[in-house]
Chain A
Amino acid sequence: MLLLAIVAVTTLAANSARQLRYMAVAFFGVALAAHLIDDGSLSVSQVVVSVCAALVASTVLFVAAGDQRFGEDPGWRLWIATIVAAATTAAAFAYLRPATGDEINTDLFGPDPSGVTTEVAAFWLLSSGIAILLTARGAVRGSLGALLMLTGTQLLVGMVPGPDLALTLLLSWLQVVVALAGAFLIVNQRAAREA
């Protein structure tokens, strides 16, 4: 549960950040906490790969910022994104939660084999990402929205039985490509605006 709280707080921090560099650091916090949530199937190799990809993605955005001040002021979008994300998370959890008989562990520390914590984190990240992406004015917040959505998706994919390591590797590559494409757009949008 503590990790879930960290995911929520760092997402809000990333969402409210005006500077891209703070946003990148906050995103790394989100990803780190999200990938450490233990639903009983946590594997060291998968966590290492996912965290490395998140680190690379954050670094790419950090470097793309160019300077400390560059970013995008969320303004009213912060509140819209937060309210929409909270409402959507609740609705998604109500409609899409698998009907399992597992006991839900709500301890502050320790694993939650029922997967509820992972699902709530995934729905929160997906909803936040969608809300940020839909209200973004440019590539700065657009990239953050895409990366948050992808992190949520990674959590849901981790719950699917199958080739875990291969899927983790694929999604990690995807995360790096999203960050690179986002950084490319950020740099070009900035160049176009400053011309």
Chain B
Amino acid sequence: MIEVIALLGITALVAFGVRKRLAVVGTMTLSALAVAIAFVIALPVDASGEMLDLPWRMSGLARLAAVILLGTLALLVLAVWVDEPAYNFFPTALAVAAVVLAVLVLTTPIAIYAVLVLGLLVPVGSFTFQVHRNRSVEAAYRHFSFVALGGFLGMAALALSASLGRDQPPTTFVLLVVILVVAFALKLAAIPFHTHAALLASEVPASALALYFGVLVPTTFIAFAQILVLSGLLPAIVQIGKVQDLLLALGIASSLGGAFLATGSTELRRVAVYSVIANLGHALVGIATLSGPGIIGAMAIALVTGAAATQQLLAAGTLERRAGADRPSATTAPLAALAFVGGGFAMIGAPPLVAFPGHFFVELIAYSYSGWMGTALVIATLGVLVAQLRAAMVLFRTAPERWRVEPRPIAGVVGALVFLVLLIGGVQPDGFLQPIAAFADEFLRALHPL
């Protein structure tokens, strides 16, 4: 496994060298991703090893998430190659792929954290473009600041908690866990730490935005859950209700706030980004319930939301480019518009897509936790539904005399592929949910170690 991570890393360096030769760098990037996906699929579950005393293990969740996230990356690379050539994107995608694999298989919390922060910093190069004409460099700088602040604060808290004896006063652990939770909220753009996400949504290229919200944000969420399990901090969280309350508050604020902001947005990208934030709020509530269904729902939401975000953001980018100075409309790119609407179905957790079980589990467990919490999550879902419906209505407000498929309809093809996969997953949810359930078991065992 370490060899594959190294291969992706080295290919990223080579790709940086030849990044302006699109045919070479595109082929190289897709081939490396295909090799990595094949290797992950071929590797048996629970395969493990060690490098420089750093242990790794391919769990069921790691395999599932790796296939989904690397697959999403491959689709993104294909879309950029065909439709929106951006030189820096290819090496960035390969570096992110290496980071995703490392985060998923490493079992040392600080190592996971360090690799994650590295991965979150890499897209800074892809966020920045045509700096004289827009505020992309400001958006990239704000992202850099948030990642650095959250990343190093969280890592320091994690290191301190690992070096402390368990006989410390409870306030010490509360403080450290609170810092860790806030650090992850900063990286996940959870409300009220979402200001950089708002600027990113309007200023950076759609493909880079999809890379961040479609791949890196779900990876960050999975890393958060894994670090909680592996760091041994979960029993302290159970004993001290305040941390659980903080997680629930962040989750509810993100759910309702994200839905509210999505409802008020007129730009397609913002609708997609705020829907992601609302769904991450759902996922945070799921984790905060510290229950089996909540954890399964949370992880499922994080993964499916990433795929849906990729679908919607790529479609939004295509629609904006085709519309030029006008408002994006389905008349200029009907397949991309359909892909955006299809992504909306996944964002709201509509059946029969595989997005449904996650939302259902989290909302159900939230109701059993408290009536008002369940109601808040349902209201948030309704808010996202309204936002997505508004966006769809704006897209299809005008109809041409004859529908004509746009040239190079890559966003539509990617959208159709993602929708098909989510549909197949929804018809046969076991394959998707079982590895997540196995992780939930590990989580619950870490919660009550005896």
Give residues in A with beta carbon < 8 Å to B.
95-96, 98-100, 122, 126, 129-130, 133-134, 136, 138-139, 142, 145-146, 149-150, 152-153, 156-157, 159-167, 169-171, 173-174, 177-178, 181-182, 184-185, 188-189, 191-192, 195
Report, nearest first, the 10 A-B pairs whose CB atoms are least far apart: A163-B53, A146-B148, A149-B152, A166-B52, A156-B159, A166-B54, A192-B131, A195-B132, A188-B137, A181-B124
One digit per residue, 1 when the CB lies within 8 angstroms of any chain A CB and 0 when it does not, for chain B 104-138 equals: 00001011001101100110110010011000011
CA distance A129 to B152 in the complex (A): 10
Q: Which residues of A contact B137 (CB under 8 A)?
A: 185, 188-189, 192
Tell me, yes or no, whether B167 is within 8 Å of chain A by CB.
Answer: yes
Q: Do B163 and A99 touch across chains, with their CB atoms under 8 A apart?
A: no
CA distance A91 to B430 in the complex (A): 50
Q: Do A149 and B148 touch across chains, with their CB atoms under 8 A apart?
A: yes
Q: Which residues of A contact B325 (CB under 8 A)?
A: none
- B123 to chain A: closest residue by CB: A181
Q: Which residues of B contact A138 (CB under 8 A)?
A: 141
Among A170, A182, A191, A192, point to the contact of B144 (Cβ < 8 A).
Answer: A182
For this complex, 21 residue pairs linking A to B, each with C-beta atoms less than 8 Å apart, are: A95-B172, A130-B153, A139-B144, A149-B156, A157-B155, A160-B110, A160-B159, A160-B163, A162-B162, A163-B111, A166-B54, A167-B54, A169-B52, A170-B114, A174-B117, A174-B118, A177-B118, A181-B144, A189-B141, A195-B131, A195-B132
Q: Do A95 and B160 touch across chains, with their CB atoms under 8 A apart?
A: no
CA distance A139 to B162 in the complex (A): 32
Q: Which residues of A contact B172 (CB under 8 A)?
A: 95-96
CA distance A181 to B261 in the complex (A): 30
- How close is B261's CB to chain A, nearest CB, in angstroms? 24
One digit per residue, 1 when the CB lies within 8 angstroms of any chain A CB and 0 when it does not, for chain B 166-189 equals: 011001100110000000000000
Q: Do A165 and B53 touch across chains, with their CB atoms under 8 A apart?
A: yes
Among B118, B138, B163, point to the contact of A156 (Cβ < 8 A).
Answer: B163
Assuming the contacts A95-B175, A149-B153, A159-B163, asked whether A191 and B110 have C-beta atoms less than 8 A apart, the reply is no
Q: Which residues of B contact A173 (CB under 8 A)?
A: 118
- B52 to chain A: closest residue by CB: A166
Q: Do A184 and B110 touch across chains, with their CB atoms under 8 A apart?
A: no
CA distance A149 to B117 in the complex (A): 13
Q: Do B111 and A133 touch across chains, with their CB atoms under 8 A apart?
A: no
CA distance A160 to B117 in the complex (A): 19
Among A96, A126, A169, point to the contact of B153 (Cβ < 8 A).
Answer: A126
CA distance A70 to B211 in the complex (A): 33
CA distance A134 to B146 in the complex (A): 10
Tell me, yes or no, whether B407 is within 8 Å of chain A by CB.
Answer: no
Q: Do B131 and A153 touch across chains, with their CB atoms under 8 A apart?
A: no
- How close is A117's CB to chain B, nearest CB, in angstroms? 15
Most buried by A among B53, B111, B141, B167: B141
- A151 to chain B: closest residue by CB: B152
